[in-house]
Amino acid sequence: MKRTHNKLNILSLGFIMALFSLSAYAEDSKIEAPMNEDQVEGRIEETKGTVKEVTGKILDDKGMEIEGNIQKNKGKIQKGYGDIKKDIKEGN
C-alpha cells in the first residue's frame, strides 16, 4: 500500500511539473506571433503523451508507456505541420 502511495505522489508531481512547464512555455510564447491551431493542439498532445509515458514508466505499465510515446510523437508531428503552415503563411 505504501509503495502505491509513493508512485501516486511521484505521478502527481510529474503531472504538476508538466503543467508548470506548459504555463512557462505559454508565457514565453506571448512575445512571438500567435500559434495556429495545429501548433497548439500538437503541443498539448505532446505534453499529454509525455505525462502518459512517464506514468507508464512509474507504474511499470509497458502498454501505457508505449501509448504515451506514440501520443507524444503524434503531437510532435502535428506541431511540426503547424510550424510549416505558419512559415508558409508568413512567407519564410
Per-residue pLDDT tens over the stretch 69-92: 999 999 999 999 999 999 998 886
pTM across the whole model: 0.63
Q: What angle do CA 39, 52, 28 make, to 5 degrees?
A: 35
Residue 16 in this model has a pLDDT that exceeds 90: no
Cα 50 to its chain centre, rounded Å, is 5
Q: Which residues span the domain enclosing 70?
A: 2-90
pLDDT of res. 59: 94
- Between helix 2-29 and helix 37-58 the angle, nearest 10°, is 160
Q: How many domains does the chain have?
A: 1
Instruction: Examine the pLDDT at 18 and tell me if it is beyond 80.
Output: no
Q: What is the pLDDT of residues 21-56, one digit of tens each?
A: 655 555 555 556 688 999 999 999 999 999 999 999
Q: Give helix then strand counts, H and E, for the chain.
A: 3, 0
